[in-house]
Amino acid sequence: MDDFFRSSDNGLLSHPSNRQFLRKLFESAAMRLGLQCREEFAHSDGGTVDVAAVMDALSLPRSAEGWAQAMIADISVAREAGRLPVLNNGSLVIGWGMPPSLMNYIDSSGAAFIDLEIDPIRFTKHLRFCARTNDRATAGVLARLRGNDEHCWNDAAALKGYFARRGAQSLFDPRTSVGLFIGQTSLDLALVTHGRLARPADASDRVRKLAQSVDLLVIKPHPYETSTSHLSELASDITNVAWTSHNVYALLCAENLSFVCGLSSGTLQEAKYFLKSSERLIEPDRNDRQALPKACSDWIPVPAAVASIEAMTEICRPFANLKQAFRSLSPKRTKLPLSVGRFRDDALDHAFGMRWGLDATQAGLPASPRLQPDHIYRFSDRSPARAWLGIGWSTPEPWGVWSDGARACVVIPLDEELLKDSDSVEVQFEGQVFSPANATPSDVLACINGNRGDAVVFGGEGSETPVRISLRVALDSPRTKRVLLIEFAIRTPMKPTDLGMSPDARSLGFGLQRLCISTQFAVPTRAQDVAGGGAEREAELQET
């Protein structure tokens, strides 16, 4: 069984592969013990549970909002209307990511359950399950299978050594203090709290306070979430936000990382093994003791051996007459020992084929040069300035680098000593706007440390229009003298493949080529002053 409320009846995408995986993993041992297995899932996916009827019986909307409310509802009132499975004290339900409402329904029926997921500690040598149950005997079996936590500490230490040989020891610059906000997919059972889907902006006050304690708050979007709108909502009123796509474990290894925060990401649990503090911003209903059956155990990390014949013999003993099965399997004893060595250690690695960020070919953090005033930097494929590129950029090319998507950022470490006598700098950068003949060029907005820059468009022919953006930035705090944060917002990025130009599927908007910072200007007093001045530097940039 799985969370059958997550179905097309509620306008949501179901994930039947997880349920099917559990069925096949446990079926072998169960059938050898003479037990029959069946799957229960949504009628819209070919099963018997009428999710639409259940939602109607609960007076809940068939939507993501209704799904969230159903996670803690009393669904027993919809048993007949929704054709919910009939269970009794001879039933064992093995489920994937079951919500509290379903676990309470199973428990009230007198049945036992094992709720399984992939354990959030995913950097270890092998993936493992985390499991919980309402059955005391089963909890004992799970406890006997539980691995030694020292393996996690050892694997984290090995991973820190791995990244130490493959990149810089700090993110951006050792003297820049950094906090990390971990993003999640916008639809996740772990985001449901008090029967509603939490959004990052719900915790904006706490995140803003955390951001004030560091030079940069770096947002790491979830790699499987295509939209960052929920994160942009959080970032909109925090002036020192940068974005990154670096490997999450490389980030956890960064020496200048002060803390990790997020709504309820599993990375928050992993952080302690890298000696980083973490702050969980919500308490999901799925882990709320008040929402769970009283007999439900805590999560217990276990290997795939929980599906072995040895473990299943102990787990299933109360649910059927296994006398004949015991005799055929072990005629000289009535209790089989739990030996995890009889089940392949990499069973979950092999089945899922991914490690959620643990990649043996992943590079470490790039080494970022500190910017020298009045020096022109290019963003070509061989330039050291490539290390300043944050999220939202394509692979640098000989001429420069295209933005890829609706947002791109540049984070530039500054040398405080060289800027100690400056109260402001003027930032100028040049590039090109993607402007194909058969489409309206995209608007590009640039912000530096939260202040908008003015663009000067030179005009041109073809699919690229040269552009220069200039802004004077006040160095009015220690933070602004340590790091410069530049963000580009591209209103309508376009794909050449959609325009029939080429097979290029990147979402192009702005091509960054050159940048220079000058210390010879004073702080502007009015917004309209921002566009003026700097003629000599502009000429030099254009000629370079």
Minimal CA–CA distance to 7: which of 86, 99, 89? 99
**pLDDT (average), residues 84-102:** 95
Tell me what the pLDDT averaged over the chain comes to.
87
Gap between the Cα atoms of 385 and 102, Å rounded:
53
Domain 377-543 has CATH 2.60.120: yes
Dig out the tokens for 505 from the structure: 């599927």
Cα separation of the two ends of the chain: 64
Q: Sign of dihedral through CA atoms 298, 301, 304, 308? A: negative
Minimal CA–CA distance to 57: which of 77, 73, 41, 40? 77
* 348-to-153, 302, 365, 518 alpha-carbon distances in Å: 20, 11, 29, 55
Residue tagged 């950029």 (tokens): 393
* Residue boundaries of the structural domains of the chain: 8-152+286-352, 160-280, 377-543
Gap between the Cα atoms of 113 and 102, Å rounded:
10
Is pLDDT larger for residue 255 or for residue 421? 255
**Is the model's pLDDT at 218 over the cut of 90?**
yes
Gap between the Cα atoms of 507 and 493, Å rounded:
5
Tell me, what amino acid is at 32?
R
Q: Going by C-beta distance under 8 Å and a sequence separation of 6 or more, which residues neighbour residue 471? A: 426, 427, 446, 448, 451, 452, 453, 454, 530
Dig out the tokens for 142 from the structure: 């799970």
Tens digit of each residue's pLDDT (9 = 90 or more) over 312-346: 999 988 765 544 544 455 444 344 455 544 688 89
Domain 160-280 has CATH 3.40.50.2000: yes
Is pLDDT larger for residue 57 or for residue 355? 57
pLDDT for 327 equals: 47
Q: Which residues pair with 137 in a beta bridge?
A: none
pLDDT for 319 equals: 64
Tens digit of each residue's pLDDT (9 = 90 or more) over 420-472: 788 888 888 899 988 887 777 778 888 888 777 655 554 445 566 788 888 88
Gap between the Cα atoms of 221 and 183, Å rounded:
5
DSSP 331-368: TT-SS----GGGS-TTHHHHHH---TT--TT---BPPP
Gap between the Cα atoms of 208 and 542, Å rounded:
39
pLDDT for 332 equals: 40
**By the 8 A CB rule, do 202 and 227 touch?**
no
Portion of the chain with pLDDT greater than 90, in percent: 65
Torsion of CA 24, 112, 132, 302, to 10 degrees: -40
Minimal CA–CA distance to 243: which of 409, 367, 365, 395? 409
Tens digit of each residue's pLDDT (9 = 90 or more) over 47-62: 999 999 999 999 999 9
**Is the model's pLDDT at 93 over the cut of 50?**
yes
Whether 160-280 and 377-543 share one fold: the answer is no
Gap between the Cα atoms of 465 and 357, Å rounded:
38
- Give me the phi and psi of 221, to 5 degrees please: -65, 155
Minimal CA–CA distance to 515: which of 390, 310, 382, 373? 373
Give Cα 218 to chain centroid, integer Å.
Answer: 13
E strand or H helix that includes residue 313: helix 309-316
Tens digit of each residue's pLDDT (9 = 90 or more) over 31-49: 999 888 999 999 999 999 9
Q: Going by C-beta distance under 8 Å and a sequence separation of 6 or more, which residues neighbour residue 188? A: 264
pLDDT for 470 equals: 82
pLDDT for 339 equals: 54
